[in-house]
Amino acid sequence: MNPLAAELNTVLDGSSTGRLLSSLGRRFFFPRGIIAQSDEAKQLAPVKNATIGMAFHHGQPLILSAIHDSMPTLTAKEAVSYAPTAGVGEVCTAWKDFMVKKTPSMNPGDVTLPVAVPGITAGISYMADLFLDENTTIIASDPCWDNYSLVFTERRGAKLRGVPFFGTGSCLDLAAIGKAIREEAKTGSVRIIFNFPNNPAGYSPTRAEADALIDIIREAAQGGADVLAICDDAYFGLFYEDDIYRESLFGRLASLHEKVLAVKIDGPTKEDYVWGLRVAFLTFGSVGLKPEHQEALNKKLLGVIRSSVSCANTPAQHLILKVLSDPRTAGEKKANYELLRGRYRAVRAFIAGNPAHPKLSPMPFNSGYFMSFRCNGIDAEALRKKLLADHGIGTIALGSGILRIAFAALEEEQIPEIYGIIYRTAYKL
pLDDT, position 35: 56
Q: Which residues pair with 396 in a beta bridge?
A: 404
Which domains, ranges and CATH numbers included, belong to the chain? 3-29+85-325 (3.40.640.10), 31-77 (no CATH), 329-428 (3.90.1150.10)
- The values of phi and psi at residue 241, to 5°, are -125, 150
pLDDT digits (tens, 9 = 90+) for 165-208: 997 777 999 999 999 999 999 999 999 999 999 999 999 999 99
pLDDT, position 30: 81
Comparing 124-128, 198-202, 274-278, 369-373, the range with the smallest average pLDDT is 274-278
Own/partner pairs, 175-181, CB within 8 angstroms, 24+ separation: 177/139, 177/213, 177/216, 178/216, 180/139, 181/139, 181/216, 181/217, 181/220
pLDDT digits (tens, 9 = 90+) for 47-83: 555 546 555 667 777 667 777 787 889 999 899 898 9
pLDDT, position 55: 53
Q: What is the mean pLDDT of residues 120-136?
A: 96
pTM score over 0.85: yes
Instruction: Tell me the pLDDT of the chain averaged across its residues.
Output: 91
pLDDT digits (tens, 9 = 90+) for 9-60: 899 999 999 999 999 889 888 876 555 556 655 665 555 555 465 556 677 7
Comparing 213-217, 270-274, 302-306, 362-366, the range with the smallest average pLDDT is 270-274
pLDDT digits (tens, 9 = 90+) for 207-239: 999 999 999 999 999 999 999 999 999 999 999
pLDDT digits (tens, 9 = 90+) for 317-368: 999 999 999 999 999 999 999 999 999 999 999 999 998 899 999 999 999 9
Helix axes 291-306, 120-131, angle to 10 degrees: 110
Q: What sign results for the dihedral spanned by CA atoms 83, 84, 90, 94?
A: positive
Pairwise pLDDT comparison (135 vs 305), residue with the higher score: 305
153-157, 189-193, 391-395, range with greatest mean pLDDT: 189-193
Rg of the chain in Å (alpha carbons):
23
Q: What is the mean pLDDT of residues 420-425?
A: 96
